[in-house]
Structure 1
Amino acid sequence: AQYAGARSVPLLAGAPWLSAVPGAGGVPTLASLYGTQVGPQVAAARRAVQSATVAKILFTSGSTGAPKGVLNTHGMLCSAVQASGLLVSSPQLPVGLDWLPWHHTVGGNATLHGILREGGTLYIDDGRPTPSEVAKTIANIRDVRPTTLLSVPSALQMLADAMEVDDALREAFFSRLRRMTYAGASLPQEVWTRMQALAVRTLGRPIAFGSGYGTTETGPGISITHWASQGGGEIGLPMPGLTIKLVPFEDRYEVRVRGPNVTPGYLRRPDLTAAAFDEEQFYRVGDLVQFANPAQPEDGLRFAGRLSENFKLSNGSWVATGELRLALVEACQPLVTDLVIAAPDRHDIRLMIWVHPAERQRAGGSGDGELSPAAYAAIAARLAERLQVHNRSNSGNTHRVAAVRILHTPASIGAGETTDKGYVNQRGVLTGRAALVDGLYSAHPGPEVIRL
């Protein structure tokens, strides 16, 4: 019933539907199919499946515009999971624990298909990386003790917080773990360092801790650090069979990719499909990268932001949002989980910041919701100190922060401010909280705006 509205969407109205539970207005249930007799039509249907046959349609998160229906073919998905398996597979059967949704490419393709390829076991985590839901994840870790973990930076940060004060949880988490991978957003170096310190404390050695980079259009793999990563925003080298074309863009490179795991296009949108590929049929990812070590390209790439998120100040200077965001999150650790950089066509840079739940509580506030004036002031003072240190080394107007405010409420998935993968949609937040942005730049700002 909760998805009844989706059935009226023109692109989906003619599609066949199944429901996990009865009572969905005449829609057949999964259970009703279990008694179906296997006849010649099943064998015929199997024989009809080719590499180009569409296996599923996943809609993009909308972080760069309206969601688009990405055609995921059988060949595309098999190529993606095989490439990943060649780099990070294990001789032992994996045991996974995952909260990421299956309607997004990381949970529904990378995690699910990876476990299926290896013949492992996947436990569905009913927790989430939020103050109110993370306790479920912690309880599940104690029970499952996964051998592999693929998650987003916000979840890993909360997990590190919990393990630093709970030795039993730390022992359970690392008891069978062989590899951790993060995706969806850049991981602050401080979180990577803390997690490795916990691994050394438990195992006597660091854990294999890498990063994956991809999109819904690539099923999702583009690149991965299949070696002992050192953190710092590394996204590794291309997956086997995939070609990355780097197009110069100022001091960075725009990413374009071509290979067997790239989508043939978008559902009923030939216009968007044509615009998504260049003259050599490379898919335009829309992200920017730099070399981790320009003198040694084999050391891989480093994420440097989304092309669509960069903006100009009123003086015409470009702000490299992705790179600056990562630098500022690092500068404000352990206080900050994420931030938004404002604003296009303004005269300087100002920030809206989400504070880590543990730091909110340490200041006398709640883990989420409205902060008391006293808690707000305490956190603001610590933020100001860190940002002033940043400014002393970054005096240019495309890097220097002029003011900041703390956001009381988390980024909203429903309002398009964040994706299920944990990536903050900068444009969506600036649009949805336009009044707060105006207050940041007011000639007479309110008491919650901290000038630097």
Structure 2
Amino acid sequence: MTEGMAPGARLQVDRREDGALRLTTDQTLLGAESDIACKLRHWARVAPDRMLMTAPDGAGGRAGLRYGEALLEARRLHGRLAARGLRPGDRVASLLPAGLEALRLRLACLLGGFVHITLPPHPFRAVAQFPPEAPEAARLWRVAAPDLVVLPAGCPAGGPALALTDLPEAPAAPDRPGAPQDWTAIFFTSGSTGAAKGVPITRGMISSCQAAYAVAWPFLAEEPPVLIDWMPWNHVFGGLDNLFKIVWNGGSLHLAPPPSAEGMGAMLDLMAEVRPSLSIGVPLGLKLLMDAWDAQPDRVAQGCAALRHIFFAGAAMDPALWDRLAGFRDALAGRYGHRIAVLSGYGATEAGSTMCLVPGDIAAPGVLGWPLPGHEVALVETDGLSEIRFRGPNLAPCYLGEDGPFPLPLDADGYYRTGDAGLLAPDPAGQPMLRFDGRLAEDFKLSSGIKVRAGLLRGRILGRLGPLASDLVLGGAGGDGLVALILAAPGAEVRAIAAALDGWNRDNPGSSTAIRRFALADFTPSAEEGEVSAKGQLVASRLHRTRSGLFADLMADRIGEVPR
């Protein structure tokens, strides 16, 4: 097992009376009785001068907030919010971008017992009045039901909306005690399978999740982690899990702009300066790092000198990128004498971010790992597949809609139905691992009744297309064959893509695998329309809705190319 992992940990697999598999680990969940506010106070006391977070200052430099300062400033802001009339349990919505100001507000809400809500930015980008009138912004507003909304400086204010500078001056307020069942945040789901829903996050959910991380990955406590992060704060990945993983373990977080080819120079400069020990993100960022490695290996190596662990979402890396990452790790191991461990996991907003973690370095993508210590997974036969279902103390109490709370999709045993399929398969060391087996919602049937495993099929076809395509979306539900919308790589020719698909079809001639007709996307998928998630990944279900006419034309043979 990789250095820094829990030694001797084992996955326990039991078969229930109904035939489902129940997965747990033999690790005991320790420390879940702690509260995240207690962790903040602890580090402010024992390491007040340690940097909690840095962020761009808007003038080409960086500004920072140390643990001692963060606690003092959060208490002062708590006092100003209380002077505005807020009471514990009131909801404070924020449109602040990730940064030091947003951090101060988040911690002030934590200490004051207010429920913090980071609103999705896109629906509110042109809002000039509150409550908003734009349909999607108005719907989210009704779900959030905020008592106060905090705007960036310079935005039109009024009614319940204001900038932090508009709050009344007041002395610092004492911290309010919190209970595990208290709501401390509301996050919105991505909306990839329907309208975005609000998910209340309790203090106990944060504690159980972060305590489970500490048991599964002891390296987090062995040395305070240093993380460069760009994930948006309106999603639990960046705005809850990454942030509070740092606070829980006394680490340092350095915010960066979203990865881009143009911004990699500044990213590498930041890496060389702060020497990250941990990388948490999605394959988009890793691809850009591998591109930089190909062009400037010495510069990338310098920025990765202290890097020990790379974490990414386990189901989302294509084989070509995995091979590049393996070569990168081998090269750095030769230079620095240690091998970077690649870790993966699996989660959902409904679980406060995380449900599964791998116990050590993985040998291939697609591995989800084991349930968090103290939590459970069940694999339940559902329409010919094994659905992943989850139960544990970090599961949200409910959803929030326009009409108030409504229940999560729980089965009769209290397991959350994820809508994802999974299977158990041994890793190279012979240990059973939960692997991703596609999304039930992505699968569809042809007119013949044959089921198409769209999620898994997409990955296999992308592997065949290689550098010719960055992504694709399959269609054909109710038809007699498959069609594909392909996002071609820059410079890729349609003839080359047609030839690659022709080879695929010869090897996979079945109606549920062969591509009958395809089109190259002549547009950039829109994050504002929900076609791209905050992690930079295509949302197939949303593209089928927003581009329904295109898929209809493909299926009717009115547009597109036929592999030859």
Residue in 2 that maps onto 1:11 = 143
Number of equivalenced pairs: 425
Q: Do the aligned partners of residues 30 and 11 (structure 1) sit closer, same or farther apart at CA in structure 2, a change above 3 Å counting?
A: same
- Percent identity at matched positions? 29
Task: Map 1:15-30; keep pairs closer than 5 Å.
Answer: 15-21=147-153, 23-26=155-158, 27-30=161-164
Amino acid corresponding to residue 166 of structure 1 in structure 2: Q
Residue in 2 that maps onto 1:215 = 348
Residue in 1 that maps onto 2:232 = 101
In structure 2, distance between residues paired with 1:295 and 1:140: 36
Instruction: State the 1:293 CA deviation.
Output: 3.4
2:503 matches 1:389: yes
Residue in 2 that maps onto 1:407 = 521
SS in 1 for 2:238: helix
Residue in 1 that maps onto 2:452 = 319
Instruction: Answer yes or no: is the 8 Å Cα contact 1:154–1:337 preserved in 2.
Output: no
Residue in 1 that maps onto 2:64 = none
Q: Do the aligned partners of residues 273 and 255 (structure 1) sit closer, same or farther apart at CA in structure 2, a change above 3 Å counting?
A: farther
Residue in 1 that maps onto 2:359 = 226
- Rg: which structure is higher? 2
2:307 matches 1:198: no
Instruction: State the 1:14 CA deviation.
Output: 4.1
Output one character per residue of 1:239-263: Cα deviation in whole Å (capped at 9) or x when no partner: 1111111111355311111100100
Amino acid corresponding to residue 93 of structure 1 in structure 2: P
Residue in 2 that maps onto 1:63 = 192
Amino acid corresponding to residue 518 of structure 2 in structure 1: V
SS in 2 for 1:391: helix
In structure 2, distance between residues paired with 1:264 and 1:297: 37
Which structure has more relative contact order (CA 8 Å, sep 6+)? It is: 2
Instruction: Answer yes or no: is the 8 Å Cα contact 1:325–1:340 preserved in 2.
Output: yes
In structure 2, distance between residues paired with 1:317 and 1:384: 25
Instruction: State the 1:181 CA deviation.
Output: 0.8
Q: Do the aligned partners of residues 329 and 414 (structure 1) sit closer, same or farther apart at CA in structure 2, a change above 3 Å counting?
A: same
In structure 2, distance between residues paired with 1:432 and 1:133: 30
Residue in 2 that maps onto 1:441 = 555
Give TM-score scaled by structure 1 length: 0.86
Residue in 1 that maps onto 2:115 = none
Amino acid corresponding to residue 224 of structure 1 in structure 2: L
In structure 1, distance between residues paired with 2:501 and 2:357: 32
SS in 2 for 1:300: strand
Q: Do the aligned partners of residues 271 and 33 (structure 1) sit closer, same or farther apart at CA in structure 2, a change above 3 Å counting?
A: closer
User: Residue 112 of structure 1 is aligned with which of 219, 229, 243?
Assistant: 243
Instruction: Answer yes or no: is the 8 Å Cα contact 1:237–1:298 preserved in 2.
Output: no
Output one character per residue of 1:86-130: Cα deviation in whole Å (capped at 9) or x when no partner: 22233122111111011101111221111111111111111335x
In structure 1, distance between residues paired with 2:558 and 2:166: 64
2:316 matches 1:156: no
Gaps of 5+ in 2: 1-123, 133-140
Amino acid corresponding to residue 545 of structure 2 in structure 1: T
Output one character per residue of 1:70-94: Cα deviation in whole Å (capped at 9) or x when no partner: 0100001111111112222331221
Instruction: State the 1:28 CA deviation.
Output: 4.2
In structure 2, distance between residues paired with 1:272 and 1:64: 19
SS in 2 for 1:58: strand
In structure 2, distance between residues paired with 1:293 and 1:5: 56
User: Residue 348 of structure 1 is aligned with which of 467, 476, 481?
Assistant: 481
In structure 1, distance between residues paired with 2:358 and 2:238: 19
In structure 2, distance between residues paired with 1:271 and 1:293: 44
User: Residue 374 of structure 2 is aligned with which of 209, 222, 241?
Assistant: 241
Q: Do the aligned partners of residues 397 and 297 (structure 1) sit closer, same or farther apart at CA in structure 2, a change above 3 Å counting?
A: farther
Amino acid corresponding to residue 104 of structure 1 in structure 2: H
In structure 1, distance between residues paired with 2:563 and 2:502: 10
SS in 1 for 2:471: strand
In structure 2, distance between residues paired with 1:5 and 1:158: 39
Instruction: State the 1:35 CA deviation.
Output: 5.4
In structure 2, distance between residues paired with 1:34 and 1:298: 58
Q: Do the aligned partners of residues 279 and 249 (structure 1) sit closer, same or farther apart at CA in structure 2, a change above 3 Å counting?
A: closer
Output one character per residue of 1:3-42: Cα deviation in whole Å (capped at 9) or x when no partner: 5567432223443222342554143433566953235xx3
SS in 1 for 2:241: helix
Range moving further from structure 2, 16-25 or 178-187: 16-25
Amino acid corresponding to residue 235 of structure 2 in structure 1: H
SS in 1 for 2:332: helix
Instruction: State the 1:444 CA deviation.
Output: 4.9
Superposition RMSD on alpha carbons, in Å?
2.7
Q: Do the aligned partners of residues 188 and 23 (structure 1) sit closer, same or farther apart at CA in structure 2, a change above 3 Å counting?
A: closer
Give TM-score scaled by structure 2 length: 0.70
Amino acid corresponding to residue 181 of structure 1 in structure 2: F
User: Residue 297 of structure 2 is aligned with which of 167, 171, 176?
Assistant: 167
